Amino acid sequence: MWLLRKEPCGDPWNPRPATVNQVNAMLEGVHRVLKGDGIFISISFGQPHFRRPLFDAPQFTWTVEWSTFGDGFHYFFYILRKGTRTSNDQGSIEKTEMPSICLLQEELEGEDYIFRTSIDDDES
């Protein structure tokens, strides 16, 4: 969905302003179309320390949770819940437990593997 590549966008520690503007525009669009209690899921190779400053911009009212999955190169599974950030949240990003998904290659080959993924909504 969005890439912070080595070229031509710069390095992920210091992305170019044009890249940051494009990412912010995309996130603003996502935030705008989500319902008040909507959830946006982003699956990325991008690590939380690169994503957090962008997800936690003050104009967004979502909280961010993340988990990893995969072997070797990890994927990061981000869950952004709109309308759940409070005034006390100063860019809180929480690591959540691994979603229940089978990562065996033969299980992932079928087209319906994403439908077998479940994310439990804990009522704390």
Give residue 45's pLDDT band: very low, low, confident or very high (50, 70, 90): confident
3 versus 43: the higher-pLDDT residue is 43
Domains of the chain listed by start with CATH number: 10-116 (3.40.50.150)
44 or 88, higher pLDDT: 44
63-69 sheet: strands from edge to edge: 39-44, 75-81, 63-69, 93-95
List pLDDT tens digits, range 75-99.
Answer: 899 999 999 887 666 555 555 555 4
What pLDDT is stored for residue 33 in this prediction?
A: 96
